[in-house]
Amino acid sequence: MLKNNYYIAISCLILSTANMVAQTLSLDTVLTNIKTNNPQLKMYDADIQSMDAAAKGAKSWMAPQVETGFFMTPYNTKMWKASEMSPGMGSYMVGVTQMIPNARKLKSDFNYMNAMSSVEKENKEYTINQLKALAKTNYYQWLVLNKKIKIADDNLLLLGYMIKSMEIRYQYNMDKLPTYYKAKSQYGALESMIVMLQNDISQKRIMLNTLMARDKNTSFEIDLTYKLNDFYAIKTDTTSLSQNRSDVKAIEKTMVLNQLKIETEKAKLLPEFGVKYDHMFAFGEQPKQFSLMGMITIPMPWSTKMNKANINSFKIKNEGLNWQKQMILNEAAGMISGMNTELINLKKQYDIAEKNIIPALKRNYDTAILSWQNNTGDLFVVLDAWEALNMAQIDALDKLQNILSTQVEIEKQLEIK
C-alpha cells in the first residue's frame, strides 16, 4: 500500500512539473489562433451570416391586403330588408388585394442583397492581414529581446568575473579603485537593462495573448527561429497588387454592389401589377355580387425623379471608388519599392556587423583581457573594449529588428497569405 502511494505521489509530482513548463508557440500557431479565436473576426463572421440570411427573403412578395365592411348600404336600416316595393338595398363586402411584383425587380433585389456579404468578406481578410502583421511585429520584437537578454546575461558573467578578479588583485595593489567602481556601475546598468527587457517581453506576451483572445497572463514562450525573406521575384505592379490586396478587392466589390443597386433602381421604373377581388353579401332578396379588377402602377416623370437621382449618385460613387483604388495601388507600389530598397541596405549593414565589426571587436576584447590577465594591460582598456563589443552587438540586433519589421511591413502591403 505504501509503495502504491509512493508511485502516485511521484506521478502527481511529474504531472505538476510538466504543467509548470511554459508552452512554446511557433509564429504559425499564433497566427492560426488569432484567425480562429479573435473576437473582431468573429464579429465579421456574424455580419456575413446575417447578410446571407437576409438575402434569402429578397424575393418575397408584399403581404395581401384584406378589407371588409358595408358596401353601398343606406343609413336607413329599414331599407335593407326586402318589401313589396323593393328587394332590399346594400350589402356586406369582403375583399382582398394582392400586388404582384415585377420579376425583374425581385431578381435585382436578390442579386444586390446576395452580394452584400462579399464586401464584408474582403473587409474580414483585410482585418486578418492587419492582425497578422501586428502579431508578427510583436513576435519578432520578443525574439530580438530574447537575444538581447542572452547577450546581457553573458556580459553579466564577464563583468562578474572581472569584478571578482579585481577584488582579489586590489588586495595586492594590482588594480585601481576607479576601474573597480566603473565595472560595478556597468554591472548595475546591465541588471537594470535586463529588468527593462523582461518587462518589454511581458508586454509582448500580453499583446499576443490579447490577439489570440486568451487569458492575458497565460505564460508561453516563442520559437527563436526566424527567416529573412527576399522580395526580388515578387511583382509589385498595380495589376498584381490588385489581385492580392483585400482592401482593393473590397473597393471592387463595393463598385459591383453599387452597380447592382443601379439595377434595382432601374427595376423600380418598371410597372407592377395587382389583383383586387371583392365579394358582396347582399341584404334582402338581392343576388350575391363580386368585383374582380386588375391594377397596374405606371411610373410617371414626377414619380421617378428620386430613382433617377439615385442612379446618377451611384455612378458618381463608383467613379470616386475607382480613383480611390488607383490611389491605394499607387501608394502601395511606391511604399513597397522604397521598403525593399531599405531592406536590402539593412541586410548589408547587418552582414557587415556580423561578419566584420563584431568579430574584430571580439578579438580586440580578447586581446585586452588577455593582456590584463598577464599584468601587461590596463582594465580600463578591457572595459572600453567590452563596452564597444556590447554596443556593437546591441546595434546589430537593432538592425535585425529593423530588418524583420520592414519585412513584416512589406508582407502586409503585399498581403502574402
pLDDT, one tens digit per residue, over 345-359 is 999 999 999 999 999
Rounded distance, CA 307 to CA 285, Å?
A: 52
Rounded distance, CA 366 to CA 155, Å?
A: 13
Q: Domains in the chain, ordered, with CATH? A: 25-414 (1.20.1600.10)
Supply the pLDDT for residue 26: 92
Supply the pLDDT for residue 11: 45
- pLDDT more than 90, % of the chain: 53
What is the mean pLDDT of the segment spanning 198-214?
A: 94
376 — phi, psi (to 5°)? -115, 0
pLDDT, one tens digit per residue, over 219-253 is 999 998 888 888 877 777 788 888 889 999 999 99
Rounded distance, CA 138 to CA 404, Å?
A: 11
Question: Residue 302: which H helix or E strand, with range?
Answer: none
pLDDT, one tens digit per residue, over 284-340 is 888 888 999 998 888 888 888 898 998 999 999 999 999 999 999 999 999 998 999
Supply the pLDDT for residue 19: 43
pLDDT category at 48 given cuts 50, 70, 90 is very high
Cα dihedral 169, 174, 184, 354 sign: negative
| Helix, strand or coil, per DSSP, at residue 71 | strand
Whether the predicted pLDDT of 104 surpasses 70: yes
- Give the burial string for 102-127 (b: 16+ CB within 10 Å, else e): beebeebbbbbbbbbbbbbbbbbbbb
pLDDT category at 391 given cuts 50, 70, 90 is very high
What is the mean pLDDT of the segment spanning 144-163?
A: 90
